A = this chain, B = another copy of it.
Amino acid sequence: MEGPRVAVIGATGAVGEVFLRIVEERSFPFSQLRLCATERSAGKMLTVRGKEYTVETTTPELFDNVDIAFISATTEASKHYGPIAAERGALVIDDSSAFRMNPQVPLVVPEVNGDDLEHHRGIVAIPNCSTTPLVMVLKPLSETNPIRRVIADTYQSVSGTGSAAVAELREQVGQVLNNEPIRSSVYPNQIAFNVFPHIDSFQENGYTKEEMKMVQETRKILHLPELPVSATCVRVPVNISHSEAVHIEFERPIEPATVREILSKCPGVKVLDDPATDVYPMPIKAEGTDDVLVGRIRKDLSHPNGIALWLSCDNLRKGAALNAIQIAEEVLRRKLLPRQGKVMAWQS
Contacts and interface: CB of A to CB of B under 8 A. Distances in A.
Interface in A283-320: 283-284, 295-303, 306, 308, 310
| Chain A interface size, under 10 / 10 to 19 / 20 to 34 / 35 or more | 35 or more
Contact of A207 (B197, B228, B237, B298): B298
A239 interface: yes
24 contacts: A149-B303, A153-B245, A155-B234, A173-B173, A173-B177, A189-B278, A189-B284, A190-B284, A193-B284, A194-B284, A195-B282, A195-B283, A196-B280, A197-B245, A197-B280, A197-B281, A197-B296, A197-B310, A206-B299, A215-B301, A228-B302, A232-B308, A234-B243, A234-B310
Contacts of A297: 206
Nearest to A197: B310
Interface string A254-296: 0010000000000000000001101011111000000000011
Given A193-B237, A193-B238, 8 more contacts: A151-B300, A193-B239, A194-B282, A194-B284, A197-B280, A197-B295, A230-B306, A247-B247
Nearest to A158: B193
Contacts of A245: 153, 197, 232, 234, 245
Contact of A155 (B170, B190, B236, B276): B236
A334 to B, nearest CB: 34
Nearest to A155: B195
Contacts of A229: 301-302
The number of times this chain is found in the oligomer is: 2
Contacts of A296: 197, 206, 232
The 6 closest A-B pairs by CB, nearest first: A206-B298, A228-B302, A230-B302, A202-B275, A232-B245, A153-B245
